[in-house]
Amino acid sequence: MHRRVTAALAASVALACTATACGGDGDTAPKSAAKIAGPGSGTGKTLTVWYMNGDLSDAAVKAINTEFTKATGASVKVQIQEWDDINTKITTALAQNDPPDVLEIGNTDVPLFAAAGGLSDISAVQKALAQGQSWLPGLVGPATVGGRLYAAPLFAAERAVVYNKKIWSKAGVTKPPATFAEFTADLDKIKAANPAPDFSAFYMPGQYWFGGVQFVWDAGGELATKNGDKWTGALESPQAQQGLAAWKQFQNTYSTPASRNLFNLTPDYNAVFAQEKTSAILNTSVNSILKIKPSLKEQLGTFPLPGAGVGSTQPVFLGGSDLGIAAKSPNQALALAYLKAATSTAVQTSAIAGIDGWTPVSSQLIDQTTGSRPELFKAFSFAAKRSVATPASPGWATIESDKSLQAFFGDISTGKTPIADAAKSFDQHLNQALNASQ
């Protein structure tokens, strides 16, 4: 559940903070929150927290608030925000003298606000907040800008294969594959048993970059690397080239030719699956499919997409949310206590995973909660343990918003542009976008 922002907004964040002195050097630097409020320290005080509409249930939010109040004595004022133009609203709020104390922010958007100075540096208390947990790289990575931590993870959403067991069984495939070779062999059987030109053994739209990057990472490639303060696009590397070639072969072989220049929402791949025009997709959940066609529930199965290495799974792009503290909040210690409550084992297991079904924020908590999750959701938890962070640059907002990644993978899948040429061009775009604010 990463968030999308525009290049214009990326610039506006910096401008807003420059005009209001919410970032920069010296006296205008964001506060370094280094003390977590203890018992009774918040008596008579109220913390204002922004949550996004539809992410956490009322019950999960109540669980966090209860844990926080028990630890500090402070109360919580929750304000639910709508998605429309949310990042502009956050920008404005962080630049004011009375911002919300704690804000839910999409994990890949944290660098945008951190680099502008709107969020507090919480590096000094990272160990205390983690409480012995190993936070998932896909959540904590984007929140770590210039080696400093600016947000704590709240929940994760990841991708796994969702497949139709009935279609697979009719093709002679009765269990999930253990290796990538088994996976493609199974898809070959399914493709042979379903020769209709509009049927995909595996529906992988060519512009579906969330799937494409998994192949790049699985081959040992990266989107970009950082040396000092400079980001460099890395898709021209031999490893990335190998991953892109593997992805193109997979997409061209198992998804229909008509899908090669499509994104996963046009048409909605959940509808394609529900109409049984494919036997499998790479998705973040089964819920959207079941909302369209509830009768499919008993036919669904899930598993992590196998990696090239024996016994491995492909690294995944993690969506999800982090919690940041406004640099201008007067309640820094209390806000840190709120982050500690939200990331605690009790809240993560009972509420984040137990009530809302999100993946918790660490590999240890995944291990603790996977056994109690419904069978269809276990594969998502397992997949989340191997995640890769997107570049922690405010310029990543431009890459997500300008749809250049969609075009990049679409040009490769259609054959419009040779892989090497597409990578060279896109690396240049990465160089410009990721270093724009440096």
pLDDT tens string 279-305: 999 999 999 999 999 999 999 999 999
- Full domain range(s) for residue 247: 160-317+403-434
Strand 46-52 and strand 75-81: pairing? parallel
Q: What tokens does 43 get?
A: 């008596």
The pLDDT of residue 52 is: 97
Q: Mark whether 119 and 251 lie in a shared domain.
A: no
Q: Is residue 397 part of a domain?
A: no
Q: Mark whether 101 and 144 lie in a shared domain.
A: yes
Q: Mark whether 232 and 120 lie in a shared domain.
A: no
Q: Mark whether 382 and 414 lie in a shared domain.
A: no
pLDDT in tens, 341-362: 999 999 999 999 999 989 999 9
The pLDDT of residue 32 is: 58
Where the chain has pLDDT below 70, the residues are: 1-33, 437-438
Q: Is residue 374 part of a domain?
A: yes
Q: Is residue 281 part of a domain?
A: yes
The pLDDT of residue 10 is: 40
- Domain count of the fold of the chain: 2
Give the integer Cα–Cα distance in Å for 128 and 119: 19
CATH of the domain at 370: 3.40.190.10
Q: pTM (2 decimals)?
A: 0.89
Q: Mark whether 150 and 169 lie in a shared domain.
A: no
Question: Which residues does 38 contact at the CB level (< 8 Å), separation at least 6?
Answer: 71, 72, 337
Q: Mark whether 105 and 242 lie in a shared domain.
A: no
The pLDDT of residue 9 is: 38
The pLDDT of residue 327 is: 98
Question: Which residues does 421 contact at the CB level (< 8 Å), separation at least 6?
Answer: none
Give the integer Cα–Cα distance in Å for 202 and 409: 17
For residue 119, what is the DSSP state?
B
Q: Mark whether 187 and 144 lie in a shared domain.
A: no
Q: Is residue 1 part of a domain?
A: no
Burial of 347 (0-12, 13-18, 19+ CB in 10 A): buried
- Classified as helix, coil or strand, 209 is helix
Q: Is residue 45 part of a domain?
A: yes
Q: Mark whether 170 and 151 lie in a shared domain.
A: no
Question: Which residues does 65 contact at the CB level (< 8 Å), separation at least 6?
Answer: 76, 78, 341
The pLDDT of residue 22 is: 39
Query: How many angstroms separate the first and last alpha carbons of the chain?
Result: 26
Q: Is residue 2 part of a domain?
A: no
Q: Mark whether 355 and 303 lie in a shared domain.
A: no
Q: Mark whether 263 and 121 lie in a shared domain.
A: no
The pLDDT of residue 374 is: 86
Cβ proximity of 286 and 255 under 8 Å: no
For residue 390, what is the DSSP state?
P
Q: Is residue 393 part of a domain?
A: no
Question: Which residues does 355 contact at the CB level (< 8 Å), separation at least 6?
Answer: 57, 59, 60, 63
Q: Is residue 398 part of a domain?
A: no
Q: Mark whether 311 and 327 lie in a shared domain.
A: no
Q: Mark whether 25 and 138 lie in a shared domain.
A: yes
